[in-house]
């Protein structure tokens, strides 16, 4: 009910592997979607993002969920240590994009948010298809923004 998160894109996540054998499942399984990722043995962080589609990831960012995200981060294996794998989501509760920036192997995951409502205007006279195309193009644009243009908060 207005709090679902929809996976939209990723950066450097399709080549970021996960060491499932070393995760603490007691922590990870506090969020059911991560338990599904573990059971499926998602191979990459991007596959995890796809599994998080249509969850209440950002609607209910509890302490247990934060701990589960940090546990996952500790066991990510990036292809390139200089990259920061990022998962991008749209939040059903408003014109807000969210992203999770994973500083792999550390205790740092940033939650980025960007209010893109100022990009979406004058849609009342548009067809449904035109509105959907506008949202799609807007989301592509904001994913390409410099992370410094997003609001950032460490978990």
DSSP state of 21: G
Integer angstrom CA distances of residue 39 from 21, 35, 36, 48: 12, 6, 5, 11
What does the pLDDT read at residue 74?
96
What does the pLDDT read at residue 92?
75
CA-based nearest residue to 57, from 89, 85, 105? 89
What does the pLDDT read at residue 93?
62
Sheet of 151-154, strand order: 5-11, 86-91, 96-103, 108-115, 151-154
Query: Which pairing describes strands 76-77 and 108-115: parallel, antiparallel, or unpaired?
Result: unpaired
pTM attached to this predicted model: 0.88
Cα–Cα distance for residue pair 71/109, rounded to 1 Å: 10
- Strand, helix or coil at 36? helix
Give the pair of three-digit tokens for residue 64.
């247990």
Query: Which pairing describes strands 108-115 and 96-103: parallel, antiparallel, or unpaired?
Result: antiparallel
Give the pair of three-digit tokens for residue 121.
């205007």
Cα–Cα distance for residue pair 1/122, rounded to 1 Å: 25
* pLDDT tens-digit profile, the chain (155 residues): 457 888 888 999 999 999 999 999 999 999 999 999 999 999 999 999 999 998 888 777 889 999 999 999 999 999 998 999 999 998 876 788 899 999 998 899 999 999 888 877 777 888 888 888 888 888 788 888 887 888 888 88
């Amino acid at each position: 009910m207005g709090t679902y998160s929809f996976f939209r894109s990723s950066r450097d996540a399709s080549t970021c592997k996960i060491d499932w054998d070393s995760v603490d499942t007691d922590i990870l399984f506090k969020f059911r979607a991560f338990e599904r990722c573990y059971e499926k043995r998602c191979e990459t962080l991007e596959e995890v993002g796809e599994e998080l589609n249509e969850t209440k990831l950002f609607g209910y960012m509890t302490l247990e969920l934060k701990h589960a995200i940090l546990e996952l981060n500790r066991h990510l294996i990036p292809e390139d240590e200089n990259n920061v794998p990022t998962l991008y989501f749209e939040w059903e509760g408003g014109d807000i994009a969210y992203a999770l920036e994973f500083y792999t192997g550390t205790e740092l995951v940033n939650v980025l948010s960007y209010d893109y409502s100022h990009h979406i205007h004058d849609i009342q006279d548009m067809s449904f298809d035109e509105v959907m195309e506008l949202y799609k193009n807007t989301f592509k644009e904001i994913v390409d923004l410099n992370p410094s243009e997003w609001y950032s908060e460490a978990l």
